[in-house]
Amino acid sequence: MRVSVDRFPFVAVVGLAALVGLSTSGAARALRADELAIGSKAPAIDIEHWVQKAGRDAAGKNFEPITEFTTGNVYVVEFWATWCPPCRTSMPHLSALQEEFGAKGVTIISVSDEDLETVEEFLKTDSDGGKTYGEITKNYLLTTDPDGSVSRDYMEAAGQNGIPCAFIVGKTGEIEWIGHPMQIDKPLAGIVDGTFDREAYAASAREMKEVQQRFGEVVKLMQAGKPAEAVQLIDSWIAELKNEEVKARLKSIRRSIAMQAGGALAVEAFTAAVKEAGDSAEQINEIAWNVVMASDQGVEVSDELVAAAVAAAEGGLKLEPTNGNLLDTLAHLQAQQGQLEKALATQQKALEHASEASMESIRGYLEELEVKVREAKEAAAK
């Protein structure tokens, strides 16, 4: 799944922190015993407006408004808003998930706390891919709850302060997972087929929360222009952590910060990450995409680092020649090198091999490249 860079308009570290579920506020707050956590019974939902009820459930019937969760089924309760770029980016992915898992008893419910008119008007607007947001979200239940009751029962009760945020309610009516909807695929599949390890995830969530409460220290260093010191601080945390998933998430943020530090530190961090990825084209893609994110967010990225990222992406494509997301990443990097026609050809291949979930973003960048190539040719002809 592709992660759109426009979702994080601040420095790359803040964007990555949001993506992996870390708070950048630095506010430490212990979880109260009565708060919503992994294993808690999911609160009933009382939603005021069920705006879109299209799509079909596992029995092939049209979806109906839901107030309580049926034992044996799985639900995703996701919080969003019309003004939220990452929420809009997540919509095609949620639609694809409903299409994939609907027949297996999964129902996706997206909840905004905006007024009905705002949401209805938003659904009429066109996305970057040309479809209206109403068309994009037609597969799942899209709602608005202006009194904010559902948000209080879920977001506030769980100490979550950023959207989009998704809660998976499992077959026993308990909270199984909380996180960003772009990271929901693996846990959702495990919860559906019964292989998800809730206890292991809960341990990971607890350790992640401890890191979350301290993450403001990293942001302060970044705001002070001290990325090298921020890297050292994260290294000290990684050395203390036990959970491998939390370590992996922090390493991802470390890479982004190291790239902002520039110079040898950036190339060293990138090279080490690619080596660690081994023969995983998916991981290579994520690492190379960090370079695209950093550049698009105004971070000065060296030619040496971009060249290393191009080499990594090309190496990944030798493993998986038809990986649409990796082709998309390579096209972005080639464009950064000024090779616009080469990037356009690569992006055309990316579109040929794009998944349904990434189709819209890949097509959008292809159209952007077509404009740039045309403008470049016109300028050269003058």
Chain segment 205-256, per-residue pLDDT in tens:
888 878 888 888 988 998 888 888 999 999 999 998 887 878 888 887 887 7
| For range 115-131, the mean pLDDT | 88
Instruction: Read off the pLDDT band of 124 (50, 70, 90).
Output: very high
pLDDT of 294 higher than 60 = yes
Structure tokens at 291: 């370079």
Q: Please report, to the nearest 10 degrees, the dihedral formed by the alpha carbons of residues 363, 365, 371, 373 taken in order.
A: -110
Phi, psi at residue 63, to the nearest 5°? Answer: -60, 145
Q: Name the nearest CA neighbour of 252 among 22, 94, 97, 85.
A: 22
Whole-prediction pTM value?
0.59
Q: How far is CA 93 from CA 86, 183, 184, 355, 370, in A?
A: 11, 10, 10, 10, 25
Q: Where are the domains of the chain?
A: 29-206
pLDDT above 90 for 80:
yes
How high is the pLDDT of residue 139? 87
Q: CATH says 29-206 is which class? A: alpha beta
**In Å, how far are 256, 294, 302, 307, 345 from 310, measured between CA atoms?**
17, 15, 13, 5, 15
Average pLDDT, the chain: 85
* DSSP E strand stretches across the chain: 49-52, 74-79, 106-112, 141-144, 165-169, 175-179
Judged against a pLDDT cut of 50, whether residue 347 lies above it is answered with yes
Token duo for residue 356 = 């349904």
Greater confidence, 169 or 273? 169
Work out the number of other CB atoms within 10 angstroms of the CB of residue 41.
Answer: 12
134: Cβ contacts below 8 Å, ≥ 6 apart:
52, 123, 124
